[in-house]
Amino acid sequence: MKQLDVELGSRSYPIYIGAGLLQQSPALVGAQLSEQTLVISNSVVAPLYLDTLLEGLADIPACTLIIEDGERHKTMETLNGIITRLLEEQFNRTCTLVALGGGVVGDVTGFAAACYQRGVGYIQVPTTLLAQVDSAVGGKTAVNHRLGKNMIGAFHQPAAVISDTDVLESLPAREFRAGVAEVIKYGLINDNEFFCWLEDNIEGLLQLDAACLAHAIEVSCRNKAGIVARDERESGLRAILNLGHTFGHAIETALNYETWLHGEAVAAGMSMAAHLSTKTTGFRESDALRVNSLLEKAGLPVNLPDTVSREQLRELMAVDKKARHGRLHLVLLEEIGKAVVTPDFEEADLAATLRHTPDLS
Q: Which of 242, 275, 292, 329 is catalytic?
A: 242
215 is catalytic: no
Q: Which of 42, 73, 144, 182 is catalytic?
A: 182
7 is catalytic: no
Non-local CB neighbours of 90 within 8 Å, separated by 6+ positions: none
Q: Minimal CA–CA distance to 73: which of 48, 38, 109?
A: 109
Crossing angle (nearest 10°) for helices 245-254 and 262-280: 130
Non-local CB neighbours of 47 within 8 Å, separated by 6+ positions: none
118 is catalytic: yes
Decide if 354 contacts 282 (C-beta within 8 A): no
140 is catalytic: yes
Q: Which of 73, 262, 275, 329 is catalytic?
A: 262
Q: Which of 156, 245, 275, 321 is catalytic?
A: 245
73 is catalytic: no
222 is catalytic: no
Q: Which of 74, 140, 275, 321 is catalytic?
A: 140
Q: Which of 177, 222, 224, 321 is catalytic?
A: 224
Q: Which of 238, 275, 321, 329 is catalytic?
A: 238
Decide if 102 contacts 108 (C-beta within 8 A): no
Rounded to whole angstroms, how far apart are CA atoms 141 and 75? Answer: 12
262 is catalytic: yes
Non-local CB neighbours of 137 within 8 Å, separated by 6+ positions: 6, 15, 124, 161, 221, 224, 225, 228
224 is catalytic: yes
3-state secondary structure at position 5: strand
Rounded to whole angstroms, how far apart are CA atoms 18 and 124? Answer: 14
Q: Which of 88, 118, 325, 347 is catalytic?
A: 118
232 is catalytic: no
Q: Which of 249, 275, 321, 329 is catalytic?
A: 249
Q: Minimal CA–CA distance to 300: which of 172, 133, 134, 178?
A: 178
Question: What stretch of H or E contains 195?
Answer: helix 192-206
Other CB atoms within a 10 A radius of the CB of residue 336 amount to: 24
Decide if 49 contacts 20 (C-beta within 8 A): no
Other CB atoms within a 10 A radius of the CB of residue 318 amount to: 13
Q: Minimal CA–CA distance to 137: which of 119, 120, 160?
A: 160
Q: Which residues does the annotation mark as catalytic?
A: 118, 140, 182, 224, 234, 238, 242, 245, 249, 262
